[in-house]
Structure 1
Amino acid sequence: MSLLAHLSLSLAGIPKPTQTYSFKSGNYQLFFTLAGSGPLLVIQAPGWGIGNAYLQSGLAPLATSHTLLFLLPRGTAPSSGADSANEMRSVTMAFDLESLRVWLELPSLTLLGHSNGGTVALAYAEMYPERVEKLLLVDPQILGFDDSATWIRFFGERMEDPRYAGAIEAMKGGMNPQTDEELQELLKKLIPYYFAQPEKYAEKFYQQLEAAAKESQHGGVQVSPFKAQGDADRADKEGVTGLFGRVICKTLILVGDKDAFCSVAAAKIAQEGIKGGGHDGVELVVLEDCGHFPWIEKGDIFFEVMKRFL
């Protein structure tokens, strides 16, 4: 019996995470949580300190058909903090996925990454192309792509929209939190900007985020990785764009057309770059009237597409 089978044996039929484990990646002690039963799906959380509780809550329906492994990145407690800011680069975090694969004694991984987690998952597929069976990128951040035109367009469209007034004010304020509490308050103000229909979903999502953080052993957002990863990625001029052509696995990119942070334009650059390497097994799905969290605004379609691809 494989190591993964031993770990997940007691989880069959349980839809929510109940077991947390740790492993070594170089000098780092990293933690992950398992949920569900079936084929393994590794879910890479963003590295900037939001943790994985929101993914455990939002992606729970996938646990009916898969064993979900929610990885907590380096720098986000209780996983080890980084020795230097450079080791908090999104691309560098991909090495931890390889350590996880080796520790689990698996020949390859099926990966899902959301937002900055998509950056890390894509980097892993570029660096270890033979080690990825399937790749699912949900509203991925494409580090190294200048998407300022999209940002300016959305900002202009939303400046006079009262639904985004608090977020616009926070953005103008510089977004430079110094404590976990300040980052939590900033995120609360920004959340409406992540949605196409904030009046329906923003408050609900924030309440779910708070509830998930309280239930989780990992707590709320953390400012230390927020600053460290931000500094490291701003210095990374290539990011993931330079190695698109190395991806050879079956790939799904899903993005909301109203996502101002991780845009359709960025998703298309990734799709074209992967195709440019001679790989035609990459699919792009754009959800209309949808923002950064498609499992909330377009849940039925989102999970239908996910399960079909998997």
Structure 2
Amino acid sequence: MRELEEDFTVLYFEARGSGGTSRPSADEMSSRAMGSDLDSLRIHLRQEKLRLLGHSNGGAIVLAYAEDFPDKVEKLVLINSELQGFSSDNSATYAAARQDHPVYGPALKNMFKLIQQPPSTDDEFAEALHSVLPYYMHDTNKTSLLADALEGGSLSVWNFLNQRRCDNELKFSAVEGLSKVQAQTLVINGRVDGVCSEAAAREVASGLGSKAELVLIEEAGHVPWLEKPVEFFSAVRKFLCS
């Protein structure tokens, strides 16, 4: 999101158990609980309201916050966002279409292995995740852009395992909570995403009605700001300035 720093103050929030943020109890790692942390941040910053951007599971976290603290969010940007409580055949459809692809196929197998046989150390987790990266792209030749973006960051297998477990055990429906959201929301998705579907983006936009703007970016996968930066940042900047 560095391009947004030219026009806005951008604060990067590291969720529970990752980066410089401490670990709570392993049973307090749900995405919804992480959403509540944002209110502690808002109070610390002495802000009446926040403008929030969330990508993938980060989208689930900021959406949970916007549902639980609706009067504290000024604007919301959901980027290829996970939508808890929503299911579609998107993942299965992409997996079936890509399983024999020379690049997607091995990445898909590594993704299944990562989920079914999780690594035990952060270094092993980082290695496993990097083997999956091509699956997130529309153009697999651009995978290095994502690898470069992750360089220097922190990847926590503890966070990965306990958040997945808590979200599975403490299920909630973000779909049912969409009616609580008050913030104007930009729902922006790369259209070729085998992870977080266009169908989920449309579901959010439909649930928010007049409060939502839906932007679908052609020839972009799970990280549209890397594959189509002009289209992506133009849409986000326009929304935040409107």
TM range (shorter): over 0.9
Equivalent of 1:285, from 215, 227, 233? 215
1:170 matches 2:100: no
Aligned equivalent of 1:230, options 146, 164, 176: 164
SS of equivalent residue, structure 1 residue 183: helix
In 2, the alpha carbon distance for the partners of 1:274 and 1:294 equals 22
The structure whose RCO (Cα within 8 Å, separation 6+) is larger is 2
Q: Which has the higher helix share?
A: 2
In 2: Cα distance, 1:112 partner to 1:77 partner: 18
Instruction: Identify the match of residue 88 of structure 1 among 19, 24, 29.
Output: 29
Partner Cα distance (2:150, 2:26) in 1: 29
Structure 2 partner of 1:258: 192
Structure 2: how far apart are the matches of 1:222 and 1:250? Answer: 32
Separation in 1, partners of 2:19, 2:186: 30
2:52 is aligned with 1:118: no
Residues 116 and 141 in structure 1, CA contact (< 8 A), matched pair in contact too: yes
Match of 1:304 in 2: 234
Judging by fraction of residues, say which structure has more strand.
Answer: 1
* Deviation of the 1:178 alpha carbon: 1.4
Q: Is the 8 A contact 1:91 1:123 kept in 2?
A: yes
Alignment check: 8 A CA contact 2:16 2:23 kept: yes
- Is the alpha carbon distance of 1:132 and 1:208 closer, same or farther for their aligned partners in structure 2, counting shifts above 3 Å? closer
1:228 CA drift (Å): 0.6
Q: Tell me the distance in 1 between the aligned counterparts of 2:31 and 2:196.
A: 15
On the 8 A contact 2:19/2:155 being kept in 1, the answer is no
Deviation of 1:236 (Å): 3.0
TM-score normalised by structure 1 residue count: 0.74
**Partner Cα distance (1:135, 1:190) in 2:** 29
Q: Which runs of 5+ in 2 are unaligned?
A: none
1:175, distance to aligned residue in structure 2 (A) = 4.6
Aligned residue number for residue 91 of structure 2: 151
TM-score (norm 2): 0.94
Distance 1:104 1:62 in 2: 20
The alpha-carbon deviation at position 64 of structure 1 amounts to 0.6
Deviation at 1:143, TM superposition (A): 1.2
Assess if the C-alpha contact under 8 Å between 1:194 and 1:259 holds in 2. yes
The one-letter amino acid of 1:62's match is L
Indicate how the Cα distance of structure 1 residues 172 and 128 shifts in structure 2: closer, same or farther if over 3 A, else same. closer
1:269 matched to 2:203? The reply is: yes
Contiguous gaps of at least 5 residues in structure 1: 1-58, 214-218
Secondary structure at 1:284's aligned position in 2?
A: strand
Q: Which letter does structure 1 place at the counterpart of 2:4? A: L
3-state SS of the aligned residue for 1:290? coil
Q: CA deviation at 1:84?
A: 3.2
Take 1:84 and 1:62, find their aligned partners in 2: how far apart are those partners? 34
For 1:242, what is the secondary structure of its paired residue?
Answer: coil
Spell out structure 1 runs of 4+ moving beyond 6 A. none
Distance in structure 1 (CA, Å) of the matches to 2:178 and 2:206: 9
Compute the displacement of 1:183 (Å): 0.9
Aligned to 2:76: 135
Alignment-mate amino acid for residue 286 of structure 1: L
- Structure 1 position 221 matched with structure 2 position 155: yes
Deviations 1:21-60 (A, max 9, x none): xxxxxxxxxxxxxxxxxxxxxxxxxxxxxxxxxxxxxx10
Q: Deviation string for 1:265-304 (max 9, x for gaps)?
A: 11111112222xxxx1201111111101111111000010
Q: How many residues align?
A: 238
Pairwise CA distance, 1:76: 1.1
2:136 is aligned with 1:206: no
CA distance in 2, matches of 1:198, 1:241: 32
Between the aligned residues of both structures, percent identity stands at 36
Larger radius of gyration, structure 1 or 2? Answer: 1
Matches of 2:199 and 2:91, distance apart in 1: 11
- Maintained 8 Å contact 1:233/1:239: no
Computed over aligned residues only, the root mean square deviation of the Cα atoms, in angstroms, reads 1.3
Q: Is the 8 A contact 1:116 1:140 kept in 2?
A: yes
